[in-house]
Structure 1
Amino acid sequence: MSPHLTEQLRERIIVWHFQRQKKIAEIAQLAGCSWRSIYKILTLHRDFGQTRNPFVRRRSKPRTLNQQNLSFITFILDANPTLFLDEIQEQLLEARNVEVSIPTLSRSLHRLARTNGHQRQQQSEMSCCVQYCNMAGRNL
Protein backbone atom coordinates (compact mmCIF):
# COMPACT_ATOMS: atom_id res chain seq x y z
CA MET A 1 0.00 0.00 0.00
CA SER A 2 1.33 3.41 -0.90
CA PRO A 3 1.82 6.08 1.76
CA HIS A 4 -0.89 8.63 2.40
CA LEU A 5 -0.52 11.95 0.63
CA THR A 6 0.05 14.91 2.89
CA GLU A 7 -2.29 17.87 2.78
CA GLN A 8 0.53 20.02 1.40
CA LEU A 9 1.12 17.60 -1.49
CA ARG A 10 -2.61 17.45 -2.21
CA GLU A 11 -2.71 21.24 -2.45
CA ARG A 12 0.35 21.18 -4.69
CA ILE A 13 -1.45 18.72 -7.02
CA ILE A 14 -4.27 21.26 -7.42
CA VAL A 15 -1.74 24.01 -8.26
CA TRP A 16 0.08 21.79 -10.74
CA HIS A 17 -3.14 20.95 -12.52
CA PHE A 18 -4.97 24.28 -12.62
CA GLN A 19 -2.24 26.91 -12.53
CA ARG A 20 0.68 25.16 -14.18
CA GLN A 21 -1.48 23.14 -16.62
CA LYS A 22 0.51 19.93 -16.08
CA LYS A 23 -0.81 16.64 -17.43
CA ILE A 24 -2.13 13.93 -15.09
CA ALA A 25 0.76 11.56 -15.87
CA GLU A 26 3.31 14.26 -15.07
CA ILE A 27 1.54 15.17 -11.81
CA ALA A 28 1.40 11.49 -10.81
CA GLN A 29 5.13 11.18 -11.41
CA LEU A 30 5.91 14.37 -9.46
CA ALA A 31 3.66 13.36 -6.55
CA GLY A 32 4.79 9.73 -6.53
CA CYS A 33 1.26 8.36 -6.68
CA SER A 34 -1.16 6.81 -9.16
CA TRP A 35 -3.30 8.54 -11.77
CA ARG A 36 -6.33 7.38 -9.82
CA SER A 37 -5.17 9.27 -6.74
CA ILE A 38 -4.73 12.43 -8.82
CA TYR A 39 -8.21 12.11 -10.31
CA LYS A 40 -9.71 11.49 -6.87
CA ILE A 41 -8.06 14.62 -5.43
CA LEU A 42 -9.21 16.70 -8.41
CA THR A 43 -12.77 15.36 -8.03
CA LEU A 44 -12.79 16.19 -4.31
CA HIS A 45 -11.55 19.69 -5.12
CA ARG A 46 -14.29 20.13 -7.71
CA ASP A 47 -17.07 18.75 -5.47
CA PHE A 48 -16.10 20.19 -2.08
CA GLY A 49 -13.54 22.90 -2.77
CA GLN A 50 -10.97 21.03 -0.71
CA THR A 51 -8.72 18.02 -1.15
CA ARG A 52 -10.42 15.79 1.43
CA ASN A 53 -14.01 14.68 1.72
CA PRO A 54 -15.45 16.58 4.70
CA PHE A 55 -18.22 14.00 5.20
CA VAL A 56 -16.03 10.93 5.60
CA ARG A 57 -15.77 9.66 9.12
CA ARG A 58 -12.27 8.99 10.36
CA ARG A 59 -11.51 5.27 10.33
CA SER A 60 -9.61 5.07 13.58
CA LYS A 61 -8.59 7.23 16.45
CA PRO A 62 -5.06 8.61 16.77
CA ARG A 63 -2.52 6.40 18.47
CA THR A 64 -2.27 6.80 22.23
CA LEU A 65 1.52 6.65 22.17
CA ASN A 66 3.15 9.23 19.91
CA GLN A 67 6.70 9.01 18.57
CA GLN A 68 8.21 10.79 21.59
CA ASN A 69 6.55 8.29 23.93
CA LEU A 70 7.77 5.37 21.84
CA SER A 71 11.30 6.81 21.89
CA PHE A 72 11.05 7.08 25.68
CA ILE A 73 9.97 3.43 25.90
CA THR A 74 12.86 2.39 23.66
CA PHE A 75 15.26 4.39 25.82
CA ILE A 76 14.12 2.83 29.10
CA LEU A 77 14.12 -0.68 27.58
CA ASP A 78 17.65 -0.17 26.27
CA ALA A 79 18.69 0.83 29.79
CA ASN A 80 16.78 -2.05 31.44
CA PRO A 81 15.55 -4.72 28.99
CA THR A 82 13.92 -6.83 31.72
CA LEU A 83 11.24 -4.31 32.69
CA PHE A 84 7.71 -5.64 33.00
CA LEU A 85 4.87 -4.05 31.10
CA ASP A 86 3.34 -2.64 34.27
CA GLU A 87 6.68 -1.09 35.21
CA ILE A 88 6.93 0.56 31.79
CA GLN A 89 3.36 1.74 32.26
CA GLU A 90 4.26 3.32 35.62
CA GLN A 91 7.35 5.03 34.21
CA LEU A 92 5.32 6.46 31.34
CA LEU A 93 2.82 7.87 33.78
CA GLU A 94 5.45 9.32 36.11
CA ALA A 95 7.88 10.72 33.54
CA ARG A 96 5.61 11.67 30.62
CA ASN A 97 2.15 11.87 32.24
CA VAL A 98 0.80 9.35 29.71
CA GLU A 99 -1.82 6.89 30.88
CA VAL A 100 -1.87 3.79 28.69
CA SER A 101 -3.31 0.30 29.11
CA ILE A 102 -1.17 -2.83 29.25
CA PRO A 103 -2.64 -4.25 26.00
CA THR A 104 -1.92 -0.97 24.18
CA LEU A 105 1.60 -0.99 25.53
CA SER A 106 2.06 -4.60 24.46
CA ARG A 107 0.84 -3.89 20.90
CA SER A 108 3.11 -0.86 20.69
CA LEU A 109 6.12 -2.92 21.77
CA HIS A 110 5.35 -5.55 19.15
CA ARG A 111 5.00 -2.82 16.53
CA LEU A 112 8.31 -1.29 17.66
CA ALA A 113 10.03 -4.66 17.43
CA ARG A 114 8.76 -5.10 13.87
CA THR A 115 9.55 -1.62 12.59
CA ASN A 116 12.90 -1.20 14.32
CA GLY A 117 14.13 -4.66 13.42
CA HIS A 118 14.94 -5.69 16.98
CA GLN A 119 16.19 -9.20 17.42
CA ARG A 120 13.85 -12.09 18.12
CA GLN A 121 15.48 -12.46 21.54
CA GLN A 122 13.99 -9.14 22.66
CA GLN A 123 10.55 -10.24 21.45
CA SER A 124 10.80 -13.48 23.39
CA GLU A 125 11.97 -11.55 26.48
CA MET A 126 8.91 -9.33 26.20
CA SER A 127 6.55 -12.30 25.92
CA CYS A 128 8.34 -13.93 28.89
CA CYS A 129 7.70 -10.76 30.88
CA VAL A 130 4.01 -10.92 29.95
CA GLN A 131 3.83 -14.61 30.85
CA TYR A 132 5.55 -13.94 34.18
CA CYS A 133 3.14 -11.10 34.93
CA ASN A 134 0.23 -13.43 34.21
CA MET A 135 1.64 -16.15 36.48
CA ALA A 136 2.45 -13.68 39.26
CA GLY A 137 -1.14 -12.46 39.21
CA ARG A 138 -0.36 -8.94 38.12
CA ASN A 139 -3.17 -7.09 36.37
CA LEU A 140 -2.89 -7.20 32.62
Structure 2
Amino acid sequence: MTLDITARAMTSDLSPEYAFRVVGRREREWRLSWLPQQRLSREQAQAGMELDELLSDPAVVHDEQAHLAAAEHAARLGIGVDRVVMLLAQRLAERLYLDLEPGHTTDVEAPIPALIDSSPGSRTPAHAGARSRHLWG
Protein backbone atom coordinates (compact mmCIF):
# COMPACT_ATOMS: atom_id res chain seq x y z
CA MET A 1 0.00 0.00 0.00
CA THR A 2 1.37 3.33 -1.01
CA LEU A 3 -0.15 6.77 -0.88
CA ASP A 4 1.08 9.47 -3.23
CA ILE A 5 0.75 12.72 -1.29
CA THR A 6 1.28 16.16 -2.80
CA ALA A 7 0.35 19.64 -1.58
CA ARG A 8 -3.01 19.37 -3.41
CA ALA A 9 -3.99 15.71 -3.60
CA MET A 10 -3.61 12.23 -2.14
CA THR A 11 -4.00 9.13 -4.29
CA SER A 12 -3.60 5.42 -3.72
CA ASP A 13 -2.05 2.65 -5.77
CA LEU A 14 -4.67 0.28 -4.33
CA SER A 15 -7.92 2.23 -4.57
CA PRO A 16 -9.53 4.67 -7.02
CA GLU A 17 -10.58 6.94 -4.14
CA TYR A 18 -8.65 10.14 -3.49
CA ALA A 19 -8.36 13.22 -1.29
CA PHE A 20 -8.01 16.78 -2.53
CA ARG A 21 -7.29 20.17 -1.05
CA VAL A 22 -10.04 22.71 -1.54
CA VAL A 23 -8.65 25.51 -3.70
CA GLY A 24 -9.17 29.11 -2.65
CA ARG A 25 -9.54 28.48 1.05
CA ARG A 26 -7.21 30.34 3.35
CA GLU A 27 -7.20 27.47 5.78
CA ARG A 28 -5.98 24.17 4.39
CA GLU A 29 -9.26 22.32 3.93
CA TRP A 30 -9.30 18.81 2.48
CA ARG A 31 -12.07 16.52 1.22
CA LEU A 32 -12.26 12.80 0.49
CA SER A 33 -13.82 11.56 -2.74
CA TRP A 34 -15.96 9.14 -0.73
CA LEU A 35 -16.86 11.70 1.97
CA PRO A 36 -17.01 14.98 0.01
CA GLN A 37 -19.33 16.90 2.32
CA GLN A 38 -17.01 16.68 5.34
CA ARG A 39 -14.32 19.35 5.82
CA LEU A 40 -11.05 17.77 6.90
CA SER A 41 -7.56 18.69 7.98
CA ARG A 42 -4.65 17.27 6.01
CA GLU A 43 -4.08 14.72 8.77
CA GLN A 44 -7.72 13.63 8.69
CA ALA A 45 -7.64 13.32 4.89
CA GLN A 46 -4.55 11.13 5.16
CA ALA A 47 -6.26 9.01 7.83
CA GLY A 48 -9.22 8.64 5.47
CA MET A 49 -6.97 7.53 2.64
CA GLU A 50 -5.15 5.04 4.88
CA LEU A 51 -8.53 3.74 6.05
CA ASP A 52 -9.68 3.30 2.45
CA GLU A 53 -6.52 1.36 1.65
CA LEU A 54 -6.99 -0.91 4.67
CA LEU A 55 -10.59 -1.63 3.71
CA SER A 56 -9.58 -2.25 0.09
CA ASP A 57 -6.94 -4.85 0.93
CA PRO A 58 -8.32 -8.41 0.94
CA ALA A 59 -5.19 -9.63 2.75
CA VAL A 60 -6.33 -7.97 6.01
CA VAL A 61 -9.79 -9.50 6.34
CA HIS A 62 -8.72 -11.54 9.38
CA ASP A 63 -5.92 -9.23 10.61
CA GLU A 64 -6.83 -7.93 14.08
CA GLN A 65 -4.16 -5.19 13.94
CA ALA A 66 -5.61 -3.91 10.66
CA HIS A 67 -9.07 -3.84 12.24
CA LEU A 68 -7.75 -1.80 15.17
CA ALA A 69 -5.96 0.58 12.79
CA ALA A 70 -9.14 0.96 10.74
CA ALA A 71 -11.10 1.85 13.88
CA GLU A 72 -8.46 4.45 14.85
CA HIS A 73 -8.50 6.04 11.38
CA ALA A 74 -12.30 6.13 11.36
CA ALA A 75 -12.34 7.73 14.82
CA ARG A 76 -10.10 10.55 13.50
CA LEU A 77 -12.80 11.21 10.92
CA GLY A 78 -15.59 11.03 13.48
CA ILE A 79 -17.32 8.16 11.66
CA GLY A 80 -17.75 4.45 12.34
CA VAL A 81 -15.98 1.81 10.28
CA ASP A 82 -19.32 0.23 9.37
CA ARG A 83 -20.46 3.57 7.87
CA VAL A 84 -17.18 3.88 5.94
CA VAL A 85 -17.66 0.39 4.51
CA MET A 86 -21.16 1.39 3.38
CA LEU A 87 -19.92 4.60 1.74
CA LEU A 88 -17.08 2.83 -0.07
CA ALA A 89 -19.40 0.04 -1.19
CA GLN A 90 -21.82 2.65 -2.52
CA ARG A 91 -19.01 4.29 -4.49
CA LEU A 92 -18.02 0.89 -5.86
CA ALA A 93 -21.62 0.17 -6.88
CA GLU A 94 -21.83 3.54 -8.62
CA ARG A 95 -18.65 2.79 -10.59
CA LEU A 96 -19.93 -0.67 -11.51
CA TYR A 97 -23.27 0.81 -12.62
CA LEU A 98 -21.46 3.32 -14.84
CA ASP A 99 -19.50 0.44 -16.38
CA LEU A 100 -22.79 -1.22 -17.34
CA GLU A 101 -24.26 1.86 -19.01
CA PRO A 102 -24.13 1.66 -22.82
CA GLY A 103 -21.36 3.76 -24.29
CA HIS A 104 -19.67 4.45 -20.96
CA THR A 105 -16.10 3.26 -20.52
CA THR A 106 -13.71 3.56 -17.61
CA ASP A 107 -10.30 2.25 -16.69
CA VAL A 108 -11.15 2.16 -12.97
CA GLU A 109 -10.87 -1.26 -11.38
CA ALA A 110 -12.18 -0.70 -7.86
CA PRO A 111 -11.45 -3.18 -5.08
CA ILE A 112 -14.22 -4.34 -2.78
CA PRO A 113 -13.93 -3.14 0.84
CA ALA A 114 -12.54 -6.21 2.58
CA LEU A 115 -13.24 -6.03 6.31
CA ILE A 116 -16.51 -7.90 5.97
CA ASP A 117 -16.33 -11.68 5.74
CA SER A 118 -19.38 -12.67 3.72
CA SER A 119 -18.25 -16.20 2.98
CA PRO A 120 -20.76 -19.02 3.57
CA GLY A 121 -20.75 -20.12 7.18
CA SER A 122 -19.27 -16.86 8.43
CA ARG A 123 -20.50 -15.84 11.85
CA THR A 124 -19.87 -12.18 11.07
CA PRO A 125 -23.01 -10.24 10.20
CA ALA A 126 -22.87 -8.38 6.89
CA HIS A 127 -23.08 -5.01 8.63
CA ALA A 128 -20.19 -5.65 11.06
CA GLY A 129 -17.11 -3.48 10.92
CA ALA A 130 -13.71 -3.61 12.57
CA ARG A 131 -15.03 -2.43 15.94
CA SER A 132 -17.51 -5.27 16.34
CA ARG A 133 -15.59 -7.93 14.42
CA HIS A 134 -13.76 -9.21 17.51
CA LEU A 135 -17.11 -9.95 19.15
CA TRP A 136 -18.05 -12.43 16.41
CA GLY A 137 -14.76 -14.19 15.72
Please say whether Structure 1 and Structure 2 have the same fold, judged by a TM-score greater than 0.5.
no
Instruction: Specify which structure has the higher proportion of strand.
Output: 2
Q: Normalized per residue, which structure has more helix?
A: 1
What is the TM-score normalised by the length of structure 1?
0.31
Return the structure number with greater relative CO, CA threshold 8 A, min gap 6: 2
